[in-house]
Structure 1
Amino acid sequence: MSAKTIRINDLGNPTLSELQRQAIANAPEVTMDETAVLNEARNATGLSDFGAEDFRERLRIWLQSFDEDHDLGPLGRASLFGDAVRYAGNRLRLEDLLKRHPEIIDEPIDRPIIIAGLPRSGTTYLVNILAADRRLRSMTLWESMEPVPAADDKVIVPGEDPRYTRTREAWGQFEQILPLMPAMHEMAPDHVHEDIELQALDFSTYLPEWLARPYRWREYYHTHDQTPHYAYGKKVLQALTWLQGPNRWLMKSPPHMENLLPLRATYPDATFVITHRDPLAVLQSAITMIAYGDRIRRQRIDLKELADYWIERIEGLLRACVRDRDSMPKAQTIDVLFHEYMADQKSVIRRIYAMADMPMTKDAERHIDLHLSANPRGRHGRVIYDLENDFGVDIPALRERFGFYYDRFPVQQEIV
C-alpha cells in the first residue's frame, strides 16, 4: 500500500483546530528570568548545586533571545521556559549523582560510532537502524529528556520507567495537537534520539533555534568554542553508562557537522559517520516542519524570515563541515551520500561496521532486518514540500550560494 500524500496549504496563515486553540489558551504566562528558571528547577528536584556557574551567562542569553522574539506566542514562550527548567533540573540531578559517585568520571566510553549530518538528511533513520544492534548503547527519546532518574521517582505504570511514562504522555499530547508531525519526524519515546540533549545541560546547543528565532543566541553560539560543552556532555554520557551499560555508544546530532573538531577532541577513538544530502531538500523539509509547529508557538508566522534564518543556519553548518572535514582522521571517518544510502542501505551499513571494526554478526543482521521491515520510510504519510511556492525561495540562486558544498561533496540534486 502506498503512503498517503499530505499537502499543508496553510503554513503562513494557519487554520487552528479547537485542540490547538485550547492548548494556546491554557499556556501559563512566564517571565524569561534566570532566577525564575533556576528556582523552578530547584523546587522540582529538591537540589541546589548546579556545578560550575558559567552556564548562567548562556542561560541569560537564551532567555533574552526569547524575549526579543516578539512573535512568540504564549505557548511558544511557555514551552521554551519549560525546556530551560528541564535542562536545569537535569543538570542538578547529574551534578548530584557525580558528587555521590565520583568514580563516574573514570567510566570509559569505548570507540563510539557518531553520526553527523544536516537535519533531515537521514540521520535519524540511520541511527535507529544501527541501534537495532544490541551490542551498541544508544539514547532513546525518553532517556534524553531526563537522563538521570530522580531518587524518589514513583512508578506510574507497573514495569515502566516513570521517565518513559512521562515522555510517552507528553509526546502523545503533542502529536494530538499537531497530528501531521509524525509524517515529518516521529517522536516515539523508545526511538533513538539526538545526543544534542547532552550539551543542553550546559546550555550550549542549537535546540532553541528549532522553536524560536533566537538571533542573539545564534551569534553567541557561533563565536564560542564548543569543546568545553562537548566535554560536559561526555560527563552525561559517562553517567548514563554507569547507570546502564554497555559502554560502546551510538550517537547522532546535526550540530556535530559544524563541531567536528570539538567532537574529535572529546571522542578521539570514535568512528565518525558524516551524512550528506542536497541542502535544498534538507532546507525545505526542515522549515516546513518548523512552520507547521509554529502555528501553536507563534502569533505571526513570517515564512520569508523563517527561510532566511535557516538558509543562513544551514550554510553555517555546511561551511564548517567543508572547512574541517579534511582534518578528521581518515581511518575513522566515512562520508555517506543520501542517495547512495537510500539505494543500498545494507551496503552502507556494512561499510560503517567495517570502519568501526565491528563484525556483522547474524544476530545483528537479523535485528537490523527486523527494524527495516517494521519501519519503512513514509509509513505515516508522505509530506509534499515546496520550497519555491511556500517560502518564496529562488532555487537557482540558492543552489549557487551552496555551490561550495556541491563542489566538495557529490550529493544528488533533488530539487529542480
Structure 2
Amino acid sequence: MLQADRRPRAVRAFNFFVRSPALAADALLQRARRRAGLRDFGPDFNEEALQVLLRSINEEAKLHPFGRLMVREKLSGQLENRLWANHWWKKYPEILDLEVLPILLITGLQRTGTTRMQRLLSRQPGARPLLSWEALYPAPVGVREENRTRIARTRRNERAVKWLSPTFHAIHPIYHDQPEEDVLLLDQHFMSSTTEAILHTPSYASWLEGRDPAEAYAYEKKLLQLLQWQRPGDYWVLKSPHHLEYLPAFFRLFPASTAIWMHRPVEECVPSFLSMLYHSRRMFSEQVAPEEISEHWLPKLGRMLGNGLRFRRENPGRVLDIGYRELMEDETAVVKRLSGVISASPSLPAG
C-alpha cells in the first residue's frame, strides 16, 4: 500500500482558493522573454514539441493548481535557458567549434545504482561531472556570466522538493552541488522522458516515441559545448536511464563514448522505480493512479531493455556491465576494474 505524504498546509490552501488557467505557449514564451530580457530562442527551437507537451499536460495530467504553477515555472525556466544559451552562442560562436569531451555514459534501468555510480566516478581525476545546478540552468544568466544566480535557484528547487515530498527526496535525494542526470539537458529541447515520469502525459509520450531523438541530442551537444566552455575537464561523466532506449542515436552523435550499463534484478528495481514515480507525481496532481503508472511504464521499460540489448549485441566492446550488488559490496574494486578498462579505451583519456 503506497502511503502519500500529507501536503503542506500552504499548498492545500493554495489549491483550495486558487484556480489557475491552462498552460499556453504564447504566455510562456512572452514570460520567458520578459524575464530574460532577450528575444531569440535560436534557429533549432522546436515549438511543435512545446505545443504537443502543453496539450498533453492540459488534457491528461490532472494537475492541481499548485502543480500547474510549478510546471509553469519549470517550462518558463527552460525557455529562459534557451534564450540565454542562444545569447552566448551568438556572442561567442567559437563555443560551437569545441570538440565535445569523451563521454563515460552511465545508464541502465532506473533504481539500478546509476546515481551512486555516477557520483563515484565523478570523483575520479580528470572527470567532468554535470552538476545539478548546471543541468537545470546550463547557460550563464546575465551579462556578468556568474554562477551565483543559477546555484541559488537550484538550492531553492532542492528545498522545495524536500518540503513538498520528503518521501520522494528520501528515495531519490537531489542536491544542488552533486552530479545529476543529463536528461535534464534534453528537457531544454522539450524532448525527454522526464515529463512522462513526473506527469501523466501519454499522448506526449506517444508523440515522443515516434520522433527521431537525434535533434534532441544535437541540442544536448551544443549545451555540453557551452558547459565545457565554462568549466573544462578531461572527460564527461554523464548518466541517465533515458539513454538506454536511444543508444544508437547517442553514439552516432557522441562516438567518443563508452557506456556503463548498471544491472539489478527487475523484481527489485522496477517496484522501487514505480513507487518513486508515484511520489513524484503526487507533488503535481491530486489524482495519481498507480495502475496508470504501471500501464505506461512497464512496456516502456521493456522497450528500453530490448533496445539496449540490441545495441550491445551489435556493438561489442562499447558497453561495460556492472552489477548493483557488485557496486554495493565493493565500490573500490569496481573503480579499479573500470579504471583498467577506461585506460585501455581509445575514446577516453588514460587515468
What is the TM-score with the length of structure 1 in the denominator?
Answer: 0.77
Note the 1:153-164 alignment, pairs <5 A. Answer: 161-164=148-151
Q: Quote the Cα distance in structure 2 between the aligned partners of 1:294 and 1:23.
A: 18
The answer on whether the counterparts of 1:277 and 1:337 sit within 8 Å (CA) in structure 2 is: yes
Q: Distance in 2 between matches of 1:133 and 1:278?
A: 28
Question: Alignment partner for residue 53 of structure 2, among 52, 57, 62?
Answer: 62
Deviation at 1:241, TM superposition (A): 0.4
Q: How much does 1:52 deviate?
A: 2.2
Q: Which runs of 5 or more residues in structure 1 are unaligned?
A: 1-7, 360-364, 366-416
Structure of higher CA gyration radius: 1
Match of 2:207 in 1: 220
Return the alpha-carbon distance in structure 2 between the equivalents of residues 16 and 92 of structure 1: 34
Within 5 Å, give how 1:157-176 maps onto structure 2.
161-176=148-163
1:104, distance to aligned residue in structure 2 (A): 0.7
Question: RMSD across aligned C-alpha pairs, in angstroms?
Answer: 2.4
Deviations 1:320-340 (A, max 9, x none): 11222222351x420112222
- Residue in 2 that maps onto 1:248: 235
| Equivalent position to 2:81, from 90, 98, 107 | 90
346 and 91 in structure 1: CA distance in 2 versus 1, 3 angstrom threshold: same
8 Å contact kept, 1:32–1:67: yes
Specify the code of the residue in structure 2 equivalent to 1:169: R
Matched, 1:146 2:132: no
Gap change, CA 1:174 and 1:10, over 3 Å in 2: same
Deviations 1:19-62 (A, max 9, x none): 54246458772432111121111111111111125510011110
SS at match of 2:40: coil
Q: Secondary structure at the match of 2:29?
A: helix
Distance (Å, rounded) in 2 between the aligned partners of 1:150 and 1:257: 32
Shift of 1:77: 2.2
Question: Aligned ranges for residues 378-389 of structure 1 at < 5 Å?
Answer: none
Change (3 A) 1:153 1:54: closer
| Structure 1 pair 248–9 and aligned structure 2 pair: CA distance change class (3 A) | closer
TM-aligned CA distance change 1:122 to 1:26, over 3 Å:
farther
Partner residue in 2 for 1:337: 323
Partner of 1:413 in structure 2?
none
CA distance in 2 between counterparts of 1:356 and 1:23 reads: 52
Residue by residue, what CA displacement relative to the aligned partner does 1:304-351 show, whole Å, maximum 9, x if unpaired?
Answer: 112222212212211211222222351x42011222222322222222
> Once the two structures are superposed, what CA deviation does each residue of 1:88-136 show, in whole Å capped at 9, x if it has no partner?
1111111111111111111122322111111211111110111112411
Q: Which residue of 1 aligns with 2:348?
A: none
Q: Which residue identity lines up with residue 48 of structure 2 in the other structure?
A: E
**Aligned pair in 2 of structure 1 residues 48, 358: CA closer, same or farther (>3 Å)?**
farther
Distance 1:247 1:236 in 2: 17
Residue 297 of structure 1 aligns to a residue in which SS? coil
* Among 292, 300, 313, the residue aligned to 1:313: 300
Residue 202 (str. 1) matches residue 195 (str. 2) = no
Give the equivalent residue in structure 2 for 1:122. Answer: 113
Q: Is the 8 A contact 1:80 1:211 kept in 2?
A: no
1:322 paired to 2:309? yes
Q: Using a 3 Å threshold, how does the CA distance of structure 1 residues 347 and 50 change in structure 2: closer, same or farther?
A: same
Q: 1:223, 1:154 → 2: CA distance?
A: 38
Q: 1:27 to 1:180 in 2, by over 3 A?
A: farther
1:58 touches 1:203 (CA, 8 Å); kept in 2?
A: yes
SS at match of 2:142: coil
**CA gap 1:19/1:116 in 2 versus in 1, 3 angstroms:** same
Contact 2:64 2:285 in 1 (8 A): yes
- Residue 279 of structure 1 contacts residue 314 of structure 1 at CA under 8 Å; is this kept in 2? no
CA distance, structure 2, for counterparts of residue 204 and residue 314 of structure 1: 18
Give the direction of change, closer, same or farther, for the CA distance of 1:232–1:288 in structure 2 (3 Å limit): same
- What is the TM-score normalised by the length of structure 2? 0.91
Q: Report the Cα distance in structure 2 between the residues aligned to 1:26 and 1:210, rounded to whole angstroms.
A: 28
Cross-structure match for 2:177: 190
Is 2:216 the partner of 1:229? Answer: yes
Partner of 1:79: 70
SS in 2 for 1:186: coil
Q: What is the deviation of 1:177?
A: 2.5
| Aligned CA distance change for structure 1 residues 25 and 98 (closer, same or farther; 3 Å) | farther
- 1:10 equivalent in structure 2: 3
Q: How many percent identity over aligned positions?
A: 26
1:100 to 91, 115, 118: 91
Q: How many residues are paired up? A: 346
What is the Cα deviation at residue 75 of structure 1? 2.3
Query: Distance in 2 between the 1:236 and 1:309 partners?
Result: 30
Cα distance in structure 2, aligned partners of 1:154 and 1:272 = 33
